[in-house]
Structure 1
């Protein structure tokens, strides 16, 4: 697998390296040694572009986490308990733990914080034996444990020049109480704590009920009305380029 390019605002291109293999063969029965040029068989790749847009007013998203994984893997299960990698991402924005999950072949991280209203694209070049399913996740960083994304989208049947589009609601990992209290939110609204191993909420993934904020009467909240969000919070498109 190769990441062809990642871009946000401006298009960033990575240099492409082409390699040719030449085989020299000699015939001992002649006075000269002919050179036979043999071109290696090139396996056609399958190229994809994943594009994510932040639809919120004041909820920066943590760097995107794009997972390539086996078809039977899910990044989360609504109604089920969050895995440790999901808990860590939903509370701190750190997606590193997904790289060690069984069945996950690759973790590709976004370029950085995806600000409100902004879009980022990641392009992938996959060999046929790498094509499986992908998931995309990100944290709403001005929350206790909200995240969004798409879960286990198969690439196998996506035809060339075809795009599939998704809208994502905000999910609650159910691992940290939505107190909105000072010191509990990692985003710029608070710059507080990220991951905490203690689980003091319902311990199941569900649709996020939204933030309350101090403007709406939650006295100890560090959030304002600008941090509220309506669903969906993300749009995600996956395009097969070739």
Structure 2
């Protein structure tokens, strides 16, 4: 009996040891912590734009959020092709596709003189750095206006800011005002043209001359002239 007892004890010890190891391994698995990433915090902004001109409809606007150091244009520098397409034909697709853009929304249609439109943009708090907006004055060759990188970081709920903006000339198309060169209702002509035949840098727009002020080939009249500012904008953080 003593021999049998002595022989069995090592086997029992081995079984107990194996069970302990298995239990320990099970405990290690149960102790694994899977971290859940924090839920995104969203911020919502409403932006109301008002056309201040007498007879310059504005193309459907693009409102976009982007990195704080991004600029859509710089006065005195060559316009990008994205700005050229918007300023000559109202096409904002290339602006929306820029790598710096985190989100964007487009207006519903033309903003007629004296009219307003309100756009809503909801973005992740991590991307809430700056917003920009752009639109073309369509009864011109390449006039445009908008917000160029407005800082919204840290803007509180219900906070609001109102501003007015001037018209810029993309410098990509000569301001001939000639028939067939402008996409707006005053002409119904060409929009974007890849050829550049002007100074090729962005600058403050000198204004429309019209057929009644010495530009014989112009299809525009006195009603199409504009003074700065041309656009009023109110930005409100709503949530």
The alignment's TM-score, normalised by the length of structure 2, stands at 0.82
Q: Does 1:163 align with 2:160?
A: yes
Q: Helix, strand or coil for the counterpart of 2:223?
A: helix
Shift of 1:154: 1.4
CA RMSD in angstroms comes to 1.4
The CA distance in 2 between the partners of 1:106 and 1:42, in whole Å, is: 18
Q: Helix, strand or coil for the counterpart of 1:226?
A: helix
Q: Helix, strand or coil for the counterpart of 1:113?
A: coil
Partner of 2:205: 208
Partner of 1:131: 128
Checking the alignment, whether the CA contact within 8 Å between 2:67 and 2:127 is kept in structure 1 is no
Q: Does 1:199 align with 2:193?
A: no
Give the aligned length: 203
Partner of 2:137: 140
Checking the alignment, whether the CA contact within 8 Å between 1:214 and 1:222 is kept in structure 2 is yes
1:41-80 alpha-carbon deviations (Å, 9 max, x no partner) = 8654222111100000000000011121111110110111
Checking the alignment, whether the CA contact within 8 Å between 2:54 and 2:223 is kept in structure 1 is yes
Q: Specify every segment of 5 or more residues in structure 2 that has no aligned partner in the other structure, as ranges.
A: 1-37
Checking the alignment, whether the CA contact within 8 Å between 1:150 and 1:166 is kept in structure 2 is no
Partner of 1:67: 64
Partner of 2:112: 115
Q: Helix, strand or coil for the counterpart of 1:138?
A: strand
- Considering fraction of residues, name the structure with more helix: 2
Partner of 2:53: 56
> Which stretch of the first structure deviates more once superposed, 156-165 or 140-149?
156-165
The CA distance in 1 between the partners of 2:106 and 2:122, in whole Å, is: 15
The CA distance in 2 between the partners of 1:177 and 1:115, in whole Å, is: 24
Partner of 2:84: 87
The alignment's TM-score, normalised by the length of structure 1, stands at 0.81
Shift of 1:213: 0.2
The CA distance in 2 between the partners of 1:86 and 1:236, in whole Å, is: 20
Q: Specify every segment of 5 or more residues in structure 1 that has no aligned partner in the other structure, as ranges.
A: 1-40
